[in-house]
């Protein structure tokens, strides 16, 4: 048995093939050939394997036959018989091949009559085809020798423009009927291409001709386009470019089918179509999107901690929680973890710490601003049926990052609003839910995309406006305001160097003293963060840039005196303790979106009819607190309260132009009314905060760290807080706790006794 390797030719059973005897003798190791000698034809996977005879370079199916004739022209005639499965292919030192084989069964689903009819029609078509050429007479003899469809394919194999894989696919087809269909398709396409090339006319039926003509033209166009692309890579058509991108993108099956569908539309519509621009934009978006999932890389926690400390001063509690998140991601080999919501005043570092997290993880950073978004389509995208449609902000951010696993900061989620176009907060539910976002569907793309590798971080100034279902999907991390000492360190280490660099001032040209920075912090800013401080420092550097430009060698030392001159602005007025204490006026503490502040409660009695007057833009909750305070004072001081029958009571909370609401001023209102009725003055160095109940209990409030910071800034020395807020003192900076005496109270009686208004044994009536 002789094993003969072949390449780039069609071999099939029941066909007659011609080989040079030299080729067969070479495969037989140089021995002579004999009629009826067994032959096995094996198909090489590529040209390299056919020349070098590599053992794994052959397909697993071959065809067995025998030599039927050895003619004088140096050719051996081989008749193939049946297909065989090949195993244990071994190349011997003399380049002969040994193997084991077994007959491969095939489906006899092509009746003899139908096979004969197919062969008859094929031979007729071959005669029509050859009639247009000079070798028609020779072709007639050749056609007469064909006794099967397989033999026709093998005989015309050198002329067919089929790849090696396509030729092997004919041999590998187990169904004789489907094998015949493949052969017919290849032969008819070849003849149709030849007919078009020679401008031959066919008398074939219109339906039959159209079917194969279209396939032949497309195949010829693809072949010619491929040659053009290879000759001029810079002129690759859009269709070819998108087809290549789709094949290499790694997108999921649904996305691939949708992309190919749109690509076919673009191919059919052409560049002159009205919709071509929309189709092009869609394909350009989805094919340049990153679909391949990145492997989770090990994270150096020490390096991550160093980066966080380098970029942000303080925020120890926040950093520790972030390190915990990174540690969990590292252990579980995950790209994402819990959805973190950073809540705090503006300028406290919420957004910038997201950039530091991305740097610590070695990943791309994307910021998506949600402030003012009121349309659901801004999150989910617009459907492509609309003019000017575009993807939503989430997928647009993923696209711009170029990766599937960026660190994405959703900024200002508390500024979302709803409209008749839907609620963007509701659309975010799917984005931020780990159980759903692995198949997020943007309306513009209309195919699912896996967001599970994206590390989402959200920021907000307040929790009040965030819908509860959305809030439940996130873990809240509070960003407390910075103390003056922390602001000084931040300004010295970060703000001043960055501002000098931005203004083009060299480090040797300007030196800012700590006294100047302290003046900027205390007299020209009033905030929990450092955003306003940064603006003031920028203004200071701009004013000194003129001197640095005109006198490059001069060194400017910024002192407090120079700060006032350079800023040319009036210092901010801070509320401080009253220089002249007065009965009926008590200092409270308030929380604001930019931090804490002190709040005066002013009361006054005047002749009247016992009416209660409230001014200062008070909200409904604060008005109710005033009425509760009045009832408590009447119960505690029944004798002093008798004067309210013929006097009007006026309660005012400056500043009158600023809206105020919330229950935390309850104890301050009660104390102010008690001070007014008894005429006893409360020390202005005392401040207080807490909600009051009608039973006289002092209940807990929020925003304690910001309020105590405001008290320390205003010069307050003693602060009364609810007993239940003692736990929150761990979030208060040590610098603040050391300068203020903090006294917890659980009842109004205890508070009024502590400030000297009530006797030690006084109780509610």
Question: Whole-angstrom Cα distance, residue 355 to residue 296?
Answer: 19
DSSP SS3 for 94: coil
- 545 by DSSP, 3-state: which? helix
| Core vs surface per residue 261-292: b (16+ CB within 10 A) or e | ebbebbeeeeeeeeeeebbeebbebbbebbbe
Per DSSP, helices labelled H in 481-619 are 484-490, 496-503, 514-523, 531-550, 560-567
CA angle 683, 685, 686 (to 5 degrees): 75
Catalytic residue from among 27, 157, 377, 664: 664
Residue of 197, 243, 187, 188 whose CA lies nearest to 220: 197
93 CB contacts (<8 Å, ≥6 apart)? none
Q: How many Å apart are CA 43 and CA 707, to the nearest integer?
A: 84
Plot region of 662 (φ>0 → left; ψ -120 to 50 → alpha; else → beta): left
DSSP letters for 598-662: EEEEEEEEEESSS-EEEESSB-HHHHHHHHHHHHHHHHH-TTGGGGGGGEEEEEE-S-TTS-B--
Looking only at the bridges linking them, the beta strands covering 686-688 and 718-722 are parallel
Whether residue 707 lies in the annotated active site: yes
Give me the phi and psi of 272, to 5 degrees please. Answer: -85, -5
d(CA 2, CA 38): 6
Rounded to an integer, what distance in angstroms lies between the CA atom of residue 34 and that of residue 66?
Answer: 10
Annotated catalytic residue 276: no
Catalytic residue among 707, 739, 747, 763: 707
CA distance 184 to 208: 12
- Tally the residues of the chain: 765
- Backbone phi, psi, residue 39, to 5°: -130, 140
Q: Which of 284, 288, 289, 347 is nearest to 314 (CA)?
A: 347
Q: Which residue, among 313, 346, 343, has the nearest Cα to 487 in the 3D structure?
A: 313
Q: Among positive and negative, which fits the CA dihedral 527, 531, 534, 536?
A: negative
CA angle (504 as vertex; 502, 510 as ends), nearest 5:
105
Please classify residue 354 by burial: count the beta carbons closer than 10 Å to its beta carbon, then call 0-12 exposed, 13-18 middle and 19+ buried.
Answer: buried
ω before 174 within 30° of 0 (cis)? no
Residue found under tokens 């094998």: 179
Cα atoms in the Cβ-side hemisphere of radius 13 Å centred on 420: 0
For residue 90, give the H/E element and its range.
strand 75-91
Burial class (CB in 10 A: 0-12, 13-18, 19+), 87: exposed
Instruction: Compute how many other C-beta atoms are within 10 angstroms of the C-beta atom of residue 581.
Output: 16
> Exposed (0-12), middle (13-18) or buried (19+): which is 128, by Cβ within 10 Å?
middle
Q: Is the dihedral of CA 577, 578, 583, 588 positive or negative?
A: negative
What are the φ/ψ torsions at residue 338 (nearest 5 degrees)?
A: -60, 150
What gap in Å lies between CA 381 and CA 275, rounded to an integer?
Answer: 19
User: 46: which residues sit within 8 A by CB, 6+ positions away?
Assistant: 7, 57, 164
* Catalytic positions: 664, 707
């Amino acid at each position: 048995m002789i094993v003969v390797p072949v390449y780039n030719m069609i071999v099939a059973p029941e066909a007659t093939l011609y080989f040079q005897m030299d080729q067969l003798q070479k495969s037989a190791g140089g021995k002579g050939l004999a009629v009826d000698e067994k032959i096995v034809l094996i198909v090489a996977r590529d040209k390299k394997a056919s020349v070098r005879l590599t053992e794994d370079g052959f397909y697993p199916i071959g065809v067995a036959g025998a030599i039927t004739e050895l003619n004088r022209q140096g050719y051996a005639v081989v008749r193939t018989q049946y297909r065989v499965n090949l195993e244990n292919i071994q190349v011997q030192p003399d380049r002969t091949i040994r193997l084991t084989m077994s007959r491969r069964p095939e489906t006899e689903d092509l009746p003899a009559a139908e096979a004969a009819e197919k062969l008859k029609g094929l031979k007729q078509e071959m005669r029509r085809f050859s009639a247009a050429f000079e070798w028609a007479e020779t072709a007639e003899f050749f056609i007469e020798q064909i006794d099967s469809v397989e033999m026709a394919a093998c005989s015309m194999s050198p002329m067919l423009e089929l790849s090696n894989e396509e030729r092997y696919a004919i041999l590998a087809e187990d169904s004789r009927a489907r094998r015949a269909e493949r052969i017919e398709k290849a032969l008819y396409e070849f003849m149709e291409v030849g007919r078009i090339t020679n401008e031959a006319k066919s008398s074939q039926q219109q339906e039959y001709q159209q079917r194969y003509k279209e396939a032949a033209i497309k195949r010829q166009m693809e072949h010619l386009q491929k040659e053009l692309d290879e000759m001029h890579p810079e002129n690759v058509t859009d269709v070819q470019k998108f087809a290549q991108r789709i094949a290499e993108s790694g997108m999921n099956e649904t996305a691939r089918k949708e992309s190919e569908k749109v690509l076919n539309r673009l191919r059919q519509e052409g560049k002159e179509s009205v919709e071509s621009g929309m189709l092009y934009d869609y394909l350009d978006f989805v094919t340049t999107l990153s679909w391949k999932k990145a492997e989770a890389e090990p994270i150096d926690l020490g390096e991550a901690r160093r980066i966080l400390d380098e970029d942000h001063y303080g925020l120890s509690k926040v950093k520790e929680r972030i390190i915990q998140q990174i540690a969990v991601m590292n252990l579980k080999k995950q790209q994402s973890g819990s959805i973190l919501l950073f809540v705090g005043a503006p300028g406290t570092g919420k957004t910038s710490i997201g950039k530091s997290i991305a740097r610590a993880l070695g990943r791309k950073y994307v910021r998506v601003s949600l402030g003012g978004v009121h349309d659901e389509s801004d999150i989910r995208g617009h459907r492509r049926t609309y003019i000017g449609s575009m993807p939503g902000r989430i997928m647009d951010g993923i696209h711009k990052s170029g990766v599937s696993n960026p660190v994405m900061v959703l900024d200002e989620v508390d500024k979302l609003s709803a409209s008749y176009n839907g609620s963007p907060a509701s659309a975010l539910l799917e984005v931020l839910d780990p159980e759903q976002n692995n198949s997020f569907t943007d309306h513009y793309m209309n195919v699912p995309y896996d967001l599970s590798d994206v590390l989402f971080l959200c920021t907000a100034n307040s929790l009040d406006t965030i819908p509860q279902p959305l809030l439940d999907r996130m873990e809240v991390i509070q960003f407390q305001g910075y103390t003056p000492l922390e602001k000084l360190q931040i300004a010295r280490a970060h703000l001043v160097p960055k501002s000098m660099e931005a203004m083009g001032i060299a480090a040797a040209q300007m030196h800012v003293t700590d006294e100047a920075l302290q003046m900027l912090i205390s007299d020209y800013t009033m905030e929990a963060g450092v955003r306003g401080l940064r603006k003031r420092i920028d203004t200071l550097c701009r004013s000194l840039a003129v001197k640095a430009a005109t006198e490059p060698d001069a060194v400017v030392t910024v002192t407090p005196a120079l700060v006032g001159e350079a800023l040319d602005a009036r210092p901010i007025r801070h509320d401080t303790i009253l220089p002249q204490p007065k009965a009926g006026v008590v200092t409270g503490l308030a929380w604001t979106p930019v931090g804490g502040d002190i709040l005066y409660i002013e009361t006054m009695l005047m002749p009247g009819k016992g009416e209660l007057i409230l001014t200062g833009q008070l909200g409904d909750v604060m008005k109710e607190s005033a009425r509760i305070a009045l009832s408590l004072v009447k119960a505690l001081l029944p004798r002093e309260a008798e004067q309210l029958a013929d006097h009007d009571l006026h309660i005012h909370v400056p500043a009158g132009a600023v809206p105020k609401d919330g229950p935390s001023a309850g104890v301050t209102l009660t104390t102010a009314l008690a001070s007014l009725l008894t005429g006893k003055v409360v020390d202005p160095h005392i401040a207080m905060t807490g909600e009051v109940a009608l039973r006289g209990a002092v209940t807990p409030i929020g925003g304690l760290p910001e309020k105590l910071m405001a008290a320390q800034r205003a010069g307050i020395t003693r602060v009364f807080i609810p007993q239940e807020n003692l736990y929150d003192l761990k979030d208060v900076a040590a610098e603040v706790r050391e300068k203020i005496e903090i006294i917890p109270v659980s009842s109004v009686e205890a508070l009024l006794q502590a400030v000297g208004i009530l006797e030690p044994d006084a109780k509610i009536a």
